[in-house]
Homo-oligomer: A and B are copies of this chain.
Amino acid sequence: MQEKPLILVTNDDGISAPGILHLANIAKQFGDVYVIAPDKPQSGMGHAITINSTLRIQKTNFHQGVALEYSCTGTPVDCVKMAVNKLLGRKPDLVLSGINHGSNSSINVIYSGTMSAAIEGSLEGASSIGFSLADYGIDADFSATTPFIKKIISSCLKNELPKGVCLNVNFPKLKSEEIAGLKICRQAKANWVEDFEERQDPYGRSYYWLTGKFVNFEPEATDTDEWALKNSYVSVVPIMHDLTAHQYINHLKNVL
């Protein structure tokens, strides 16, 4: 008998967030699920790892019917490293991250702990997918995501993703019947224009909150994730961890 797929589930909102409960619940239908996720929210942690401090893990019981479940004091990337190299015993067949409470489309991919966990999964040689829903609310409705997540998991178990590539899947905040389908696309060129909100503490000293406005530099382009989400599609962007701007190497040889 063939071994059941080993599926690692993690996120950046913390091990008890509704999004990861929903994702692990779907994953159980496809294999043995190991949940190893941060013990607290780690949004915006990007690809951070813990090297100036130590890590702790703790068995937890937030999830029903999973093979193993640990919270970890580290970042999402720490969780993947800890799982693959310490807790799982073998390389996972699939790494699933999310479902994030909030979109990780476009440039958000580089700030996102959710997507960094997926990228780390692909670095570890496993097919990896990050899922995000464009709804920050703790009471976000994840039900419309289910059939799409099943389809993507099923496809990735059948055809492994190529080495070094993972998927960034974003769901619009819509009901099932309003979603137009899946759209394979590219990361839109966009940016955040920050505004640092200055406040005074009770002792008269200034502190700042990072806030900002998202700017899509190419709202007309129809092959981007931003366009897909605005037009009721689930966006799927293949993401790689080779950051080399290959097309620029020759030019650089001439100017440096």
Please list the residues of chain A having a beta carbon within 8 angstroms of any beta carbon in chain B.
41, 43-52, 54-57, 74-75, 77-78, 81-82, 84-86, 107, 109-111, 116, 119, 123-124, 151-152, 155, 159, 162, 164-165, 167, 182, 184-187, 189, 191, 193-196, 199, 205-210, 236-246, 248-249, 251-253, 255-256
Contacts and interface: CB of A to CB of B under 8 A. Distances in A.
Contacts of A155: 255-256
Given A43-B51, A47-B46, A243 B244 contact: no
B208 A55 contact: yes
B242 A210 contact: no
Contact of A184 (B55, B186, B205, B256): B256
Contacts of A207: 54-56
A6 to B, nearest CB: 18
Count of chain copies:
2
B243 A249 contact: no
A109 to B, nearest CB: 6
B55 A50 contact: no
A196 B86 contact: yes
Contact of A245 (B57, B75, B209, B238): B238
A239 B249 contact: no
Residue of A48, A86, A255 with highest tally of chain B CB at under 10 A: A48
A75 to B, nearest CB: 8
Contacts of A43: 51-52
Given A47-B111, A54-B208, A210-B55, A85 B252 contact: no
Contact of A243 (B49, B77, B109, B195): B109
A244 to B, nearest CB: 4
A46 B256 CA distance: 27
Contacts of A116: 46-47, 110
Nearest to A211: B51
B48 A249 contact: no
Contacts of A124: 191
A194 B85 contact: yes
B249 A245 contact: no
List of 5 A-B pairs having minimum Cβ-Cβ separation, nearest first = A46-B47, A238-B245, A240-B245, A46-B46, A85-B194
A49 B54 contact: no
Nearest to A196: B86
A117 to B, nearest CB: 12
B77 A46 contact: yes
A125 to B, nearest CB: 8
